[in-house]
């Protein structure tokens, strides 16, 4: 078994890092890593020096078609030049993930999908991720699902072969954090999703109104670099707007805060594991397992204050996370060893 692991964003790296760490400490499975987008993610990852492959001329901008064509061509070149790869592993539902999966399929290389089976069954929410992950499911040969619900989604689509529950690898990095949790008067905010771009000014206005009404809380928002987010930050006069944080610094803030307001998928999982409530600023979520326990939908900006006031004084959660136990990478390696290595 020889893996080509493809990722393009920081959230994807966070979710493959624990697996890469284990892979680098063994010799039964060979692997290489391709970063299709944010190469600065790798600056502090000394472990990758011997495993990293560079793709030249990758186009990373806000036009999905450019990303798709560029990544697909780059991965195809790698697979054509090195016929020894047996599997391409992609994580999640980004455009680079579906491009890499389709490139592998065209080159007759098997596809492993990490975080398989997430669904909203609404192709516009999230956009384009819902369609991306459905396409990957049709292409993939091995489906690594985080939960029983995600596995059942695949079964309902008649995808039953080589589908396994392994938990969510995002939680592997949180094992040392759970016992450190506090509940300071901090409200952590993250907002960036494409489907919110057209109404980001409305979300920011409501967030600022909330901070103005509750001045005894520190509302802290690491601002996403996307121009569609940045252009409205002037509306956040009552909020502490900071530059994007490293994952470690974000986790340090997450374990201290009282409540989270977010449109992120991964933070929903992290909040569940750390027993923090999060208000999810989206019409729907592909992670329904924690709804009503740690995750609560805010379907439109005008509802933010109402949902916030329902939960700000009832913020402590005692509930086992449905997304895993922090040992997903170990489970995946055991699966590879037992079923896919001669």
Per-residue pLDDT tens for 196-205? 999 999 999 9
Per-residue pLDDT tens for 228-273? 999 999 999 999 999 999 899 999 999 999 999 999 999 999 999 9
Q: How far is CA 57 from CA 73, 105, 206, 266, in A?
A: 10, 22, 41, 29
Residue 67: predicted pLDDT: 84
pLDDT surpassing 80 at residue 89: yes
Percent of the chain at pLDDT exceeding 90: 84
Q: Which residues 6+ apart lie within 8 Å of 259 measured at CB? A: 187, 188, 276, 277, 278, 279, 308, 311, 312, 315
Per-residue pLDDT tens for 29-73? 999 999 887 555 555 555 566 677 777 666 666 688 888 898 999
Residue 335: predicted pLDDT: 97
Instruction: Tell me the residue length of the chain.
Output: 342
pLDDT surpassing 80 at residue 342: no
Percent of the chain at pLDDT exceeding 70: 94
Preceding peptide of 126 cis, ω within 30°: yes
Find the radius of gyration of the CA atoms of the chain: 20
Residue 60: predicted pLDDT: 62
d(CA 264, CA 278): 10
Residue 4 banded pLDDT, cuts 50, 70, 90: very high
d(CA 222, CA 195): 19
d(CA 85, CA 34): 13
Mean pLDDT of 195-218: 97
pLDDT surpassing 90 at residue 91: yes
Mean pLDDT of 84-109: 97
Nearest to 305 by CA among 215, 170, 214, 222: 214
d(CA 152, CA 175): 27
Residue 48: predicted pLDDT: 65
Average pLDDT, the chain: 93
Residue 83: predicted pLDDT: 97
Going along the chain from its start, the domains and CATH numbers come out as 2-172+326-339 (3.40.50.2000), 178-311 (3.40.50.2000)
Mean pLDDT of 210-233: 96
Per-residue pLDDT tens for 176-194? 898 899 999 999 999 999 9
Residue 164: predicted pLDDT: 98
Residue 40: predicted pLDDT: 55
8 A C-beta contact, residue 72 and residue 57: no
d(CA 331, CA 315): 32
Angle between helices 304-311 and 200-213 (to 10 degrees): 40
Nearest to 8 by CA among 31, 38, 32: 38
Per-residue pLDDT tens for 262-274? 999 999 999 999 9
Mean pLDDT of 286-300: 97
> 162-166, 303-307, 314-318: which range is least confident on average?
314-318
Residue 42: predicted pLDDT: 56
């Amino acid at each position: 078994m020889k893996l080509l692991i493809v990722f393009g964003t920081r959230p994807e790296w966070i979710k493959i890092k624990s697996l890469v760490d284990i892979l680098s400490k063994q010799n039964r499975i060979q692997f290489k890593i391709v970063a299709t987008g944010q190469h600065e993610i790798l600056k502090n990852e000394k472990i990758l020096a011997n495993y990293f492959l560079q793709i030249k001329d990758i186009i990373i901008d806000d036009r999905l078609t450019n990303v798709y064509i560029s990544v697909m061509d780059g991965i195809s070149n790698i697979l054509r030049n090195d016929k020894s790869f047996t599997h391409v592993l992609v994580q999640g539902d980004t455009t680079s993930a579906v491009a890499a999966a389709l490139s592998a399929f065209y080159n007759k290389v098997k596809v492993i999908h990490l975080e398989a089976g997430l669904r909203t069954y609404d192709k516009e929410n999230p956009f384009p991720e819902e369609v991306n992950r459905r396409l990957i499911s049709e292409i993939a040969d091995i489906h690594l699902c985080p939960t029983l619900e995600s596995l059942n989604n695949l079964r309902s689509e008649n995808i039953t072969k080589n589908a396994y529950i392994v938990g969510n690898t995002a939680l592997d990095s949180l094992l040392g954090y759970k016992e450190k949790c506090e509940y300071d008067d901090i409200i952590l905010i993250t907002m960036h999703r494409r489907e919110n771009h057209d109404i980001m000014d409305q979300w920011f206005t409501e967030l600022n109104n909330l901070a103005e009404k509750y001045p005894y809380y520190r509302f802290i928002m690491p601002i996403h670099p996307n121009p569609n987010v940045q252009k409205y930050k002037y509306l956040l006069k009552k909020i502490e707007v900071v530059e994007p944080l490293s994952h470690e610094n974000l986790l340090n803030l997450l374990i201290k805060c009282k409540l989270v307001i977010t449109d992120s998928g991964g933070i929903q999982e992290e909040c569940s594991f750390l027993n923090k409530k999060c208000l999810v600023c989206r019409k729907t979520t592909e992670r329904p397992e924690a709804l009503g326990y740690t995750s609560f939908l805010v379907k439109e900006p005008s509802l933010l204050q109402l949902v916030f006031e329902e939960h700000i004084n009832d913020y402590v959660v005692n509930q086992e996370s449905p997304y895993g136990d922090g040992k997903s990478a170990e489970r995946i390696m055991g699966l590879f060893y037992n079923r896919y290595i001669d």
